[in-house]
């Protein structure tokens, strides 16, 4: 949905065509920010057509001030978005100020450090990612849309609706690849499911061409263990939300992660969590209350934490209820939007 550039106060570029966590954040945040009165639009490929957007030729209008402000904000979330922002502001002298959101959980390379140093404001998506920044920043944890991700409410949300085996489901969602730890989850299931006949494991998510052999190796391991009917790779599903609601336990076994939204989506669906300490997982899970966190890449620790839940379905259910309460209190998408709006206002009011 194109909007007139004259009214736009904030531009949120998305210069990566393939779906990613950054893309998901933009897709969820912009409609909410618009509803709360911010004239924000995006720019770039791979986004829903109904999202408010501007076109490439609209960039020539950035020498002019918008209707309500002295300048516009360019909110980048990747290096490839910071670079054109700096060019437009510093070389072309367009009426822009630059904001960057950093989710990286590592020391930045020299180029990235330099780019970040040129920003007018910086946001970190977690305290851990903020610890790698050498500039002043504001922490704004990602939120989850509590209208889209909801707890079970009807028969369709029950595991029994799938006609698959077992009474309880354990899931691992997201792209199927080594980085995401899908193999760690599969190995844990191979070791645990024979002990717990009431449980079935499901994996959803895309496998891109370069990771196809990785998926085939997983399928072979599952077949060799005789568990093809209890460890199911569903691929991409039409609506992942209903599958979250059907789970009793969700596992996020990533070896490394930027932020990681899936545990929040699962908790909003009233599901207990076992996760690695990659990304921001440790900051979103309350140990022993909403779930459990284990060292990233430690397959034995992951297996043991999962097994402790599978052995106690009552604890799983209670931690799922705790998780729902926790995410509603601390990780609503509205809260993220409010923090970001505060950063924007500081930039707009600066001389």
In tens, the pLDDT along 21-76 reads 788 889 999 999 999 999 999 999 988 899 999 999 999 999 999 999 999 999 99
d(CA 275, CA 295): 9
Q: Is the pLDDT of residue 17 over 80?
A: no
Q: Is 315 helix (H, G, I), strand (E, B) or coil?
A: helix
- Residue range 296-329, pLDDT digits in tens: 999 999 999 999 999 999 999 999 999 999 999 9
pLDDT at 22: 83
Beta bridge pairs of residue 266: none
Judge whether 289 and 319 are in contact, CB under 8 Å: yes
pLDDT at 179 over 70: yes
Domains 5-143+332-349 and 155-330 share a fold: yes
- What tokens appear for 34 in the block? 């618009």
State the Cα–Cα distance between residues 51 and 29, nearest whole angstrom.
Answer: 10
Share of the chain above pLDDT 70, in %: 100
User: Minimal CA–CA distance to 310: which of 292, 332, 337, 327?
Assistant: 292
Q: Which residue has the tokens 């596992």?
A: 251
Domain residue ranges in the chain: 5-143+332-349, 155-330
Report how far residue 20's alpha carbon sits from residue 237's, in angstroms, rounded to the nearest whole number: 16
**Helix H or strand E encompassing 86:** helix 79-86
pLDDT bin (cut points 50, 70, 90) of residue 290 is: very high
Q: Which run of H or E residues covers position 121? A: strand 121-124
For 27, 177, 182, 281, 334, the CA distances from 215, given in Å and listed in that order, are 28, 7, 9, 24, 37
Measure the CA–CA gap between 221 and 20, rounded to whole angstroms: 28
Q: Residue 178, Cβ neighbours under 10 Å: how many?
A: 11
Angle at 180 between CA 177 and CA 183, to 5 degrees: 65
In the structure, what pLDDT confidence band is assigned to residue 16 with cuts at 50, 70 and 90? confident
What residue has token string 């490929």?
45
CATH class of 5-143+332-349: alpha beta
Q: What is the per-residue pLDDT for 117?
A: 97
Specify whether the CB–CB gap between 322 and 289 falls below 8 A.
yes
CB atoms within 10 A of CB 197: 11
Give the per-residue pLDDT at 20: 73
Q: Looking at the DSSP assignment, which residues form a beta bridge with residue 294?
A: 276
State the virtual CA torsion across 24, 339, 325, 238 in degrees, nearest 10: -10
Mean pLDDT of 225-243: 95
Residue 71 near residue 96, CB atoms below 8 Å:
yes
DSSP 87: I
Distance CA 326, CA 252 (A): 18
When pLDDT is cut at 50, 70 and 90, the band that residue 19 belongs to is low
Lookup: tokens for 297: 């890449």
Mean pLDDT of the chain: 95
Which architecture, in CATH terms, is 155-330? Answer: 3-Layer(aba) Sandwich (3.40)
CB 144 within 8 A of CB 265: yes
Structure tokens belonging to residue 74: 């360019």
Output the pLDDT for position 180: 96
In angstroms, rounded to a whole number, what is the distance separating the alpha carbons of residues 153 and 244?
12
What does R_g of the chain's alpha carbons equal in angstroms? 22
Least confident of 5-19, 68-82, 189-203: 5-19
């Amino acid at each position: 949905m194109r909007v007139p550039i004259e009214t736009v106060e904030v531009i949120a570029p998305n210069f990566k065509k393939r779906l990613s966590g950054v893309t998901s954040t933009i897709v969820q945040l912009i409609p909410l920010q618009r509803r709360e009165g911010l004239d924000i639009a995006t720019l770039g490929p791979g986004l829903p057509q109904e999202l408010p957007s501007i076109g490439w030729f609209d960039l020539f209008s950035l020498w002019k001030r918008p209707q309500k402000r002295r300048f516009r904000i360019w909110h980048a979330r990747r290096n490839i978005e910071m670079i054109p922002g700096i060019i437009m502001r510093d070389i072309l002298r367009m009426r822009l100020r630059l904001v960057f959101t950093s989710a990286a959980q590592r020391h930045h390379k020299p180029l990235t450090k330099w780019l970040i140093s040129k920003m007018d404001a910086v946001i970190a998506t977690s305290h851990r990612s903020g610890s790698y920044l050498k500039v002043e920043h504001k922490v704004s944890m990602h939120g989850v849309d509590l209208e889209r991700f909801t707890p079970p409410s009807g028969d369709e949300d029950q595991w029994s609706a799938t006609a698959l085996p077992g009474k309880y489901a354990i899931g691992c969602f997201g792209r199927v690849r080594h980085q995401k730890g899908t193999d760690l989850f599969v190995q844990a299931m191979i070791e645990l499911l024979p002990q717990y006949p009431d449980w079935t494991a499901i994996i959803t998510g895309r496998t891109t061409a370069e990771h196809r052999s990785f998926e085939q190796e997983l399928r072979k391991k599952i077949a060799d263990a005789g568990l093809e009917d209890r460890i199911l790779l569903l691929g991409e599903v039409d609506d992942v939300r209903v599958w979250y609601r059907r789970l009793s336990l969700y596992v996020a076994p990533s070896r490394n992660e930027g932020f990681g939204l899936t545990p929040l989506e699962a908790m909003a669906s009233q599901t207990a969590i076992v996760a690695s300490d990659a990304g921001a997982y440790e900051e979103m899970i309350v140990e022993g209350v909403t779930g459990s966190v284990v060292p990233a890449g430690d397959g034995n620790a992951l297996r043991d934490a999962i097994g402790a839940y599978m052995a106690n379905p009552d604890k799983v259910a209670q931690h799922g209820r705790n998780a729902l309460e926790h995410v509603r209190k601390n990780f609503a998408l509205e809260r993220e939007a409010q923090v970001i709006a505060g950063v924007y206002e500081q930039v707009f009011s600066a001389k």
